[in-house]
Structure 1
Amino acid sequence: MKPANLVLTITMVSCLTLVVTAQRPQQEQPQPSQPQMNQDRLEAAHGQLYSSQDKAKEASRLTQAVAPALPGTGSSYAPIARKNFVDEFIFGKMERDNIPHAPLAGDAEFLRRAYLDATGLLPAPDEVRSFLGDSDPNKRDKLIDSLIGTEAFADQWAYHYGELFRTDDASFHLWTKEWIKVDRPYNEVFYDIVTPVTKNAKGLPTAQYYDPTAYVSNRCVIWTDADHLKGFNRLDWIDEITSDIGRVFLGLTMDCFSCHNGAGHADSVNLFLASRKRTDFWQQAAFFGKMRPIGTSTDSAGAQFQNGQSLFDDLAPGYNTGDDGNYVTAAENRFPRDGRTYSPAFLLTGEQPKPGENPRKALGRILPAHIQFARATVNIIWQKLMVIGLVEPYDGFDLKRLDPKNPPPAPWTIQPTNPELLEALAEDFRGNNFSIHRVIKTIMKSNAYQLSTGFEGEWKDAYIPYHARRFARILTGPEAVDIMAQATDAPFSVQHYGEPRAYVKQLTNPKNMKGGNVADNKDAYAFMQAYYQSERALPPVDKSMASPVQAMMMMSSPVVTKRVGAQGKTRVANLLKSGKSDDEIIEELYLSSLSRFPAAAEVEVARRLIAEGGRPSGVETIQWALLNSPEFLLNH
């Protein structure tokens, strides 16, 4: 290997090692021992509550480790213009507390970030040239407006909500993509999800929301009972639905008090959960008490309930924990219930359905009207765009610690890092027809979002809650493989419902990459798993941790190595055939991979690589090195 080649390779590997080793892994506390209950179920119910993982510090350590290799620079106490109410709350708090902050990101840093967050893709080289050469002072706002609502935006955010909802059905994905693209009011989206009635779940996309919850409710995969009911525990299924609704739409971890009273279990971690009783959960679950799922036979020998061909109606007798008709009643995944019948009452207010009102339709009306629905929604979006939520984790809200005017008893503190901003975002969301687009634009157009990752001087953990800099984050699995394919001009080839798809986010679920006989697609799926991609059986893993597996994948996976070659259909091959000069090729590789022009010193190193290694080998090495740089591997 030539000296310059060796130096650059060692530098890139060192950068990857730095990303991985600079973050000390968090140790989780052992789970309380409760032998009366299935251990897997116990861990699922309590793991989030008792976890010692600190995502904010993980993100801070990652950012500190990689910041020297990123283009952002400097720190400043100087006031930054406040463009909207987000800035008023973020910068106002920093000024009051004399907290230093990063400067605004440069145009190239902002451009790449905005594209990744909005679309999960990178800007094309000509788009980079155009944006960086534009002198319009409003060009950032105009860029954001141009990205929100596009096809790529809908792909990115439909995939995100697919992960959040844990759905892998094509019809649900396409329905999600459509409401995201047209910005349908989110309260209406919730109403459609909780109220489906259908003779065939495949005929109604929202009915697919209930499939992921059934895996804990099936006693076996196939059974032979004539009415197809005894293989399914309906109340367990309803409890899972209720917990999932709480997780996604209220930001609450409800599994704990679905099994036992919160007192004695959640006292040290969540005041609100500690005050809840199991009967509160059953009353909330009773909104689904009349919901009746009936499976259909796949053959004459048996039936498989969750095969997407199930019927939903509201003809069951209710939430009767003593006698649930033909369904299995005994709790199989929770502690035994008390044998009573419960009527619906909303967990946060006690509100009940109106006389004669369908309970699920009542829930569709009552829940979005409560401010916690808006808080949970905007917090998820804030976390997606700003890396660290105003409340962490997104389903860990403590409703007794949200109001600075009514603080909790010592030693408890207010939970949100900026409670006034959380309320302002929630009220703005609720007051503007529950518009997801508006929340995203409001955050992205703020100067708080547009701060640089760079921070000159001593960074302290005390600055984390202020969002005093942009935090870097690990790419999601689809983002990692999609921008890899995009930067190398070697998209994937997946036949999906008769049409070719170039990027993972265009698919209805991650498992689509596993099917067929295309080795490249299967390699990509393995690559995504290194970036915490799951099959959506459980809620998404939310980590800001780099790993050795990610580094190894980037350096040696066929997903990367095949795409940097000088042969075949790659950007390197196309550039070598284009007649461009060495400097033009170097510039094109930087624009397509890092969304910026190369610095003079970088051009000089790249020229030496080409001169010493030969043109094809040198250009291959440059492409590989850029893909393995922290600047490419992170959203920053």
Structure 2
Amino acid sequence: MRAKVTERGLTPAPPCSDEVFFRRVYLDVIGTLPAGGEVTQFLHDERPDKRARCIHRLLAREEFNDYWALKWCDLLRVKAEFPINLWPNAVQSYHRWIRDAVKANMPYDAFARALLTSSGSNFREPPVNFYRAVQGREPAAFAAAVALTFMGSRIESWPEEQRARMEVFFSRLAFKGTDEWKEEIVCWEPLEQPEPLDAVFPDGVAITIPTDQDPRALFAAWLTAPENPWFARAIANRVWSWFLGRGIIHEPDDIHPDNPPVNPELLACLERELIRSHYNLKQLFRVILNSATYQQSSVTSAPYPEAEAVFAYYPARRLEAEVLSDALNVLFGTTNAYTSAIPEPFTYIPEEHRTITLADGSITDSFLETFGRPSRDTGLESERNNQVTTSQRLYLLNSSEVQKRIVRGGGRLAKSGAPAKGGPMQAVRQIYLQVLSRFPTKEETAVIREYLQRNGAAPKALKEDVTWALINSKEFLYRH
């Protein structure tokens, strides 16, 4: 990576500080804000491999399973829709299966094969919901979903003949109702006529499919073969984009010959590592998270667009809606009141759940809507909107709900704001630690002391003012 940066006349950003790394890796790996005690423990750790140890611990946390199940549910369009597609109990079953697969570190090729080839009840065989979540029940829709999810390719840009030949692999997919309300059996129907099917894989290799063989299984075997030109490349590029803000091929859902990787050698290296490890995604995570590229500072003096394209620094990105919601809740000791477009009793609306654990994309609240949670209609990464908007700024600045949380106190900040040895400035230090995962700088401390002298704020008012200022800061709203 450094060679690619320097050959363009750019200077790579220096390594980030321990405080920045610790907050970054918590948010990137488990979608959770670190507690103040965890921060100080890490800062006091003098072992040279403490960052690698931290990464190893986070990959084993339960929050890792919740957060990455959320990521996959976005791509796999997991949400209840009334009265078609996924029914609420199918959503819960599907989410549990995805989370269990993440927890077990199911090899990615096995994960893909299960989604592509499973048959059975949408309630009792969760992976079949991959097809039920697709908008449309014709071979063209299934082929498009498969190409997007597992090949990072938009099939609508393919030549018409190539699309039609791939659609053949999904032409015998059938949906059969049962006596149980909203249950469907997803399966393949053998051809009644004796003639086999002629199909062509996306790489141009033709195949004749026997009448007694599921075409999906043949496609899945082709897709997950180590020599396949799309499979490992698409997921390696997607994982890189999850951690570094953009793909080596940008966008991760737009892989095609006219959109080459900015660093072919790097992408090829990640592909080889994934195949060598038998599609172990956690191992790929470790490789990226331990890299000097991932651990760069987000501060750069290089020209912005060009430096971003070659990963000359870590790109600051606004927290996802669910992660930001949970961060505020853990700081203030509050919970969300969720709603759903699906009427009760047909849906399950959880109470006092962390937002990243929500299974159903149809369950939401005004905060999630305001901060760009995806609708889970398309499976595109771009469906999630992490751009900062005026309504988001106004919500944090002026929302009565936020003001109530600050005034009421609770959560981690309740302890931080309690009278402590050292007076009000010690409380301020603890608020900084909980909100920003660091202590205030000398300059910030001087500003707060001056504020105290000028306004004579009471300890409670000081806590509220500092808290309000910090949760409205870019440093809190962004992973950096």
Normalising by the residue count of structure 2, what TM-score does the alignment of the two structures yield?
0.87
1:292-311 deviation digits (Å, cap 9, x = unpaired): 11245788xxxxxxx4x111
Report percent identity of matched pairs: 25
Q: Does structure 1 conserve the Cα–Cα contact (< 8 Å) formed by 2:78 and 2:359?
A: no
Structure 1 residue 112, shift from structure 2 partner: 0.8
Structure 1 residue 576, shift from structure 2 partner: 4.3
Query: What is the letter of the counterpart of residue 284 of structure 1?
Result: M
Whether 1:365 aligns to 2:286 is no
Whether 1:474 aligns to 2:318 is yes
Gaps spanning 5+ residues in structure 1: where?
Answer: 1-89, 218-233, 257-272, 300-306, 320-340, 402-413, 514-524
Equivalent in 50, 60, 66 of residue 139 of structure 1:
50
Alignment correspondent of 2:281: 436
Question: What is the DSSP-based 3-state SS (H/G/I as helix, E as strand, rest coil) of the residue aligned with 1:166?
Answer: coil
Whether 1:445 aligns to 2:290 is yes
Change (3 A) 1:378 1:131: same
Q: Does structure 2 conserve the Cα–Cα contact (< 8 Å) formed by 1:572 and 1:620?
A: no
User: How do residues 338-377 of structure 1 correspond to structure 2 at under 5 angstroms?
Assistant: 343-352=198-207, 355=210, 356-369=212-225, 370-377=228-235
Whether 1:130 aligns to 2:4 is no
Whether 1:509 aligns to 2:360 is yes
User: How do residues 26-425 of structure 1 correspond to structure 2 at under 5 angstroms?
Assistant: 90-168=1-79, 169-198=91-120, 200-214=121-135, 217=136, 234=137, 236=138, 238-256=139-157, 273=158, 276=159, 278-295=160-177, 307=182, 309-315=183-189, 317=191, 343-352=198-207, 355=210, 356-369=212-225, 370-398=228-256, 400-401=257-258, 415-425=260-270
Change (3 A) 1:590 1:288: same
Change (3 A) 1:542 1:383: farther
Structure 1 residue 546, shift from structure 2 partner: 1.9
Query: What is the letter of the counterpart of residue 219 of structure 2?
Result: L
Change (3 A) 1:497 1:529: closer
**Distance in 2 between residues matched to 1:423 and 1:287, nearest whole Å:** 28
**Distance in 1 between residues matched to 2:192 and 2:220, nearest whole Å:** 18
Change (3 A) 1:177 1:609: farther
Structure 1 residue 537, shift from structure 2 partner: 2.0
My pick for the range that moved more, 342-351 or 383-392, is 342-351
**Distance in 2 between residues matched to 1:610 and 1:296, nearest whole Å:** 70
Query: What is the letter of the counterpart of residue 117 of structure 1?
Result: D
Query: What is the letter of the counterpart of residue 187 of structure 1?
Result: D
User: How do residues 619-630 of structure 1 correspond to structure 2 at under 5 angstroms?
Assistant: 619-630=463-474
**Distance in 1 between residues matched to 2:94 and 2:391, nearest whole Å:** 32
Structure 1 residue 474, shift from structure 2 partner: 1.7
Equivalent in 521, 526, 549 of residue 366 of structure 2:
526
Query: What is the letter of the counterpart of residue 360 of structure 1?
Result: R
Gaps spanning 5+ residues in structure 2: where?
Answer: 80-90, 340-346
Q: Does structure 2 conserve the Cα–Cα contact (< 8 Å) formed by 1:282 and 1:342?
A: no
Structure 1 residue 114, shift from structure 2 partner: 0.4
Equivalent in 283, 306, 320 of residue 462 of structure 1:
306
**Distance in 1 between residues matched to 2:268 and 2:363, nearest whole Å:** 39
Structure 1 residue 350, shift from structure 2 partner: 2.1
Question: What is the DSSP-based 3-state SS (H/G/I as helix, E as strand, rest coil) of the residue aligned with 2:186?
Answer: strand
- Structure with greater Cα Rg: 1
Alignment correspondent of 1:584: 426
**Distance in 1 between residues matched to 2:114 and 2:155, nearest whole Å:** 22
Structure 1 residue 562, shift from structure 2 partner: 2.6
Query: What is the letter of the counterpart of residue 184 of structure 2?
Result: S
Q: Does structure 2 conserve the Cα–Cα contact (< 8 Å) formed by 1:158 and 1:177?
A: yes
Alignment correspondent of 1:569: 410
Alignment correspondent of 1:14: none
1:573-597 deviation digits (Å, cap 9, x = unpaired): 4444454531221111111110111
The alignment of Structure 1 onto Structure 2 pairs a total of residues equal to 453
Note the aligned Cα RMSD (angstroms): 2.6
**Distance in 2 between residues matched to 1:538 and 1:296, nearest whole Å:** 28
My pick for the range that moved more, 434-443 or 525-534, is 525-534
